[in-house]
Amino acid sequence: MSSTATDTLAKQSSEEGEIAGGHSAATELTDGFHLIIDALKLNDIDTIYGVPGIPITDFGRLAQAEGMRVISFRHEQHAGNAAAIAGYLTQKPGICLTVSAPGFLNGLTALANATTNCFPMILISGSSEREIVDLQQGDYEEMDQLAIAKPLCKAAFRILHAEDIGIGIARAIRAACSGRPGGVYLDLPAKLFGQTMDATAGEKSLIKVVDPAPRQLPAPDAVARAIDVLKGARRPLIILGKGAAYARADEEIRALVEKSGIPYLPMSMAKGLLPDDHPQSAGAARSLVLKEADVVVMIGARLNWLLSHGKGKTWGDQPKQFIQIDIEPKEMDSNVEIAAPLVGDIGSCVSALLESMGDGWTAPPADWTGAIDAKKETNLARMAPKLQNNNVPMDFHGALGALRRIIKERPDAILVNEGANTLDFARSIIDMYQPRKRLDVGTWGVMGIGMGFAIAAAVETGKPVLAVEGDSAFGFSGMEIETICRYNLPVCVVVFNNNGIYRGTDVNPTGGPDVATTVFVKDSRYDKMMEAFGGIGVYATTPDELSRAVNEAMESGRPTLVNAVIDENAGTESGRIGNLNPQSAVSKK
């Protein structure tokens, strides 16, 4: 039997007992610190992302001493983002550990973002003493954290007594992973950590969660209804979302796509679930398929803003019927009518569809698949020469053409991506070939996920990570390159440096001394930041220099930052979502 944290403490306590008075019957004790560690380990949670401080410094130390991997960050938001994406990559809740009030609040953005994106994570925060907080007597870092966390996560719990730690951790794990995954807050007041209890009783109080994310089988009549709708389709389309990637039903999904012959469209983080060069991928004919499809099968994707809420110009005038597979029943009809809701886990739902399709399934009409193929061909042919260009300064196509070739050669590398133009162009240009290799700004389009995601991707998978970052986006988490160097992680950051947000060319309309709101210091040397921490910094002005630097980094696994100089004129406002910008109707002359 492996030695637990509690065993160690028990040994210590009996040795102390012997030294003190020679009582062989010294009570074996455990405490809050050790019970939390034991409870996490019992549930196969072996990594914590956090920032130390009162009251959790010793907790981090002890967790490390007990063999957990404890990755210390420079800011809690990035530790939280790391935990969230660790959850997405492993289906186990990622753990973020923060200090009270300000540290907790710093972690909260990541917790809310995890919940929005359906990633399982647990934000564990130390907190001040209840008696003082509740009477608002001004404790160190006083804040009613539980109340603040509640509306921003799936569930929030507080543990007051050592004997409840087992239950508390079990509830947090179940809440994070079951049904639609999400963020959970666990509040641990300072006093809990030092509370002692009998070691044997402590061990017994811990729970190994059985089946934390139970399968949920779809009802047979719901499956039959979905098949009926699908049989009536003349221009069917499958849309795969990151829920499908998370579900790890890779084989079933591939079988459904290939057996049905239906073209599919991957949402951003579902790219690679089937390889982007799969003949049925409609990625390069997106506008056409959304407009023209008559039956759309949604698999782990929501009809939110990213899909224009299922209506309007994007979807055209053709009447459509939706079949939607999701574990969350309330998702159905959230934006448009769902003709055939299929509630259950994706693996079970897709298997049920496959079974009901039987052997003689008829492929979609050739005029539909033919039109898509023709559109793809035209679009890809138009794109190809742009990706080969050697313009200096580089434009997005030239630089991303180089990175596209690298990912093609290293399909197991993980791509992290944020920015506006840097995000939108990279998403459409860089093909992915394996599931769960593309990690990006997700449902909120949030900036700041970059370094946290990159760190967790490297820690959890051991694979090389390529983080393609707008210069603005990078700034949100840039200090974490010290963390990357400290843990010597195989992360190559490429900063697309176009001197600002969207472009580097805006000017202050007043002509005053302040620069425009969207521009940065021209020609900043982000590569030198990396050198400051012992990593490799490269200044790249051509696609060849960029390729060489990234290839070397991926080969060596050494922390690297490539400052890729991009034409400051090349981008457009808000990348591809400029239409969402409200504009003043009262323009001053």
Instruction: Specify the residue, 203 or 345, whose C-beta has the smaller distance to ligand ADP.
Output: 345
CB of 498 to ligand TZD, least distance (A): 5
CB of 494 to ligand ADP, least distance (A): 24
Partner from ligand ADP, ligand TZD, Mg ion, none binding residue 83, C-beta < 5-8 Å depending on class: none
The residue sitting closest to ligand ADP, measured at its beta carbon, is 243
With contacts defined by CB under 5 A, how many residues of the chain interact with Mg ion? 3
Q: Where are the beta strands (DSSP E) in 327-371?
A: 340-343
Instruction: Specify the residue, 260 or 417, whose C-beta has the smaller distance to Mg ion.
Output: 417
Residue 127 pairs with which residues in a beta bridge? 189
Residue 476 CB neighbour total at 10 angstroms: 22
**Contact call for residue 421 and ligand TZD (CB under 6 A):** yes
CB of 108 to ligand TZD, least distance (A): 13
Kindly state the tokens that stand for 392: 């200096």
Instruction: Specify the residue, 431 or 471, whose C-beta has the smaller distance to ligand TZD.
Output: 471
Binding site for ligand ADP (CB under 6 A): 117-118, 180-181, 241-243, 246-247, 267, 269-270, 300-302, 304, 306, 326-328, 331, 345-346, 443
Q: Which of 324, 356, 318 lies closest to 343, judged by CA?
A: 324
Q: Which of 473, 538, 550, 562 binds ligand TZD (CB under 6 A)?
A: 473
**Contact call for residue 470 and Mg ion (CB under 5 A):** yes
Q: Which of 242, 238, 236, 230 lies closest to 302, judged by CA?
A: 242
Determine the 3-state secondary structure of 23 from DSSP: coil
Instruction: Specify the residue, 51 or 213, whose C-beta has the smaller distance to ligand ADP.
Output: 213
- Footprint on residues 474-513 left by ligand TZD (CB under 6 A): 496, 498, 501-502
CB of 255 to ligand ADP, least distance (A): 17
Kindly state the tokens that stand for 352: 């049920």
Identify the burial level of 548 via C-beta atoms within 10 angstroms of its C-beta, where 0-12 means exposed, 13-18 middle and 19 or more buried. Answer: middle
CB of 499 to Mg ion, least distance (A): 7
Q: Which of 422, 443, 461, 563 binds ligand TZD (CB under 6 A)?
A: 422
CB of 282 to ligand ADP, least distance (A): 15
Partner from Mg ion, ligand TZD, ligand ADP, none binding residue 356, C-beta < 5-8 Å depending on class: none
Q: Which residues of 394-420 are buried (b: 16+ CB within 10 A; e: fewer)?
A: bbbbbbbbbbebbbeebeebbbbbbbb
- Reported as half-sphere exposure (CB side, CA atoms, 13 A), residue 507 has a value of 4
Can you tell me the distance from the alpha carbon of 269 to that of 246, in angstroms, rounded to the nearest whole number?
9
Instruction: Specify the residue, 149 or 473, whose C-beta has the smaller distance to ligand TZD.
Output: 473
CB of 93 to ligand ADP, least distance (A): 14
Partner from ligand ADP, ligand TZD, Mg ion, none binding residue 326, C-beta < 5-8 Å depending on class: ligand ADP
DSSP state of 568: T
Partner from ligand TZD, ligand ADP, Mg ion, none binding residue 264, C-beta < 5-8 Å depending on class: none
Q: What are phi and psi of 277, to 5 degrees?
A: -95, 15
**Contact call for residue 571 and ligand TZD (CB under 6 A):** yes
Q: Which of 62, 267, 420, 429 binds ligand TZD (CB under 6 A)?
A: 420
DSSP state of 318: S
Kindly state the tokens that stand for 433: 């070939």
CB of 80 to Mg ion, least distance (A): 24
Partner from Mg ion, ligand TZD, ligand ADP, none binding residue 301, C-beta < 5-8 Å depending on class: ligand ADP
- Cα–Cα distance list, 237 to 93, 251, 291, 518 (Å): 32, 19, 11, 39
Q: Which residues contact 5 (CB under 8 A, 6 or more apart)?
A: 30, 33, 34, 37, 38, 41, 62, 66
Per-position DSSP letters for 472-518, written without gaps between them: HHHHHHGGGHHHHHHTT--EEEEEEESSBSS-S----TT--SSPPTT
Can you tell me the distance from the alpha carbon of 21 to that of 27, in angstroms, rounded to the nearest whole number?
13
Q: Where are the beta strands (DSSP E) in 172-286?
A: 183-189, 196-198, 236-240, 264-266
What type of residue is 551? N
CB of 115 to ligand ADP, least distance (A): 11
Kindly state the tokens that stand for 414: 């993980």
Instruction: Specify the residue, 308 or 389, whose C-beta has the smaller distance to ligand ADP.
Output: 308
Instruction: Specify the residue, 434 or 498, whose C-beta has the smaller distance to Mg ion.
Output: 498
Instruction: Specify the residue, 180 or 548, whose C-beta has the smaller distance to ligand ADP.
Output: 180
Kindly state the tokens that stand for 16: 């102390």
Q: Which of 323, 117, 127 lies closest to 218, judged by CA?
A: 323
CB of 21 to ligand TZD, least distance (A): 59
Kindly state the tokens that stand for 549: 């630097």
Instruction: Specify the residue, 123 or 565, whose C-beta has the smaller distance to Mg ion.
Output: 565
CB of 494 to Mg ion, least distance (A): 12
Tokens 């992360």 correspond to what residue? 491
**Contact call for residue 498 and Mg ion (CB under 5 A):** yes
Can you tell me the distance from the alpha carbon of 40 to that of 147, in angstroms, rounded to the nearest whole number?
24
Partner from ligand TZD, Mg ion, ligand ADP, none binding residue 242, C-beta < 5-8 Å depending on class: ligand ADP
Can you tell me the distance from the alpha carbon of 45 to that of 70, in angstroms, rounded to the nearest whole number?
11
The residue sitting closest to ligand TZD, measured at its beta carbon, is 470
Instruction: Specify the residue, 47 or 497, whose C-beta has the smaller distance to Mg ion.
Output: 497
Partner from Mg ion, ligand ADP, ligand TZD, none binding residue 7, C-beta < 5-8 Å depending on class: none
The answer to whether 133 touches 143, Cβ cutoff 8 Å, is yes
**Contact call for residue 448 and ligand TZD (CB under 6 A):** yes
Tokens 């900063």 correspond to what residue? 495
Region from 107-115, 465-473, 480-488, 534-542 binding Mg ion, contact rule CB under 5 A: 465-473
With contacts defined by CB under 6 A, how many residues of the chain interact with ligand TZD? 18
Q: Which of 143, 445, 479, 505 binds ligand TZD (CB under 6 A)?
A: 445
The answer to whether 295 touches 230, Cβ cutoff 8 Å, is yes
End-to-end Cα distance, the chain: 78
- Footprint on residues 190-229 left by ligand TZD (CB under 6 A): none
Instruction: Specify the residue, 20 or 580, whose C-beta has the smaller distance to ligand TZD.
Output: 580
Kindly state the tokens that stand for 54: 């009162």
Footprint of Mg ion (CB under 5 A): 470-471, 498
Footprint of ligand TZD (CB under 6 A): 419-422, 445-448, 470-473, 496, 498, 501-502, 571, 575
